Structure 1
């Protein structure tokens, strides 16, 4: 769900319900660069990771020791990527 994804990344609930065009606009820079984008629920990460060739995680903060503060679910995505050597 893109609304949930937005809350997890920003911590803010969207004021108005966006139509499909606005949801597509957030991925426009990637799709214009020829990158296919699929939004999936966290529960499907391990199932599709074998078909993924690159994982990009947004982080909120990078700490001095190199660790990250990221959205909920990022650890599971990282574990799946490591398991599939992605």
Structure 2
């Protein structure tokens, strides 16, 4: 198995996170690090195929965001709602 190195800078991830840093507050670095680790492993299992990078990055930024945006432990639906609203607003497709 090849060595897995966590990429610590991803412009799309930083752009997506930038509008939520204040909302996430003290948990920001922990959640950010969690997202970077999960992206790293997902991309590894996808053989680092560039065609999946944007969707993987986006999905992992939003996957738990409802914990903070809606203060909900049942965060799946709120996370989806935030992702869909941002997608509509920014027309990512």
Q: Is TM-score (shorter-chain normalized) higher than 0.5?
A: no
When normalised by structure 1's length, the TM-score is 0.32
User: Which has the larger Rg?
Assistant: 1
Larger relative strand fraction: 1
Q: Of the two structures, which has the highest relative contact order with CA contacts closer than 8 Å and spacing of 6 or more?
A: 1
When normalised by structure 2's length, the TM-score is 0.31
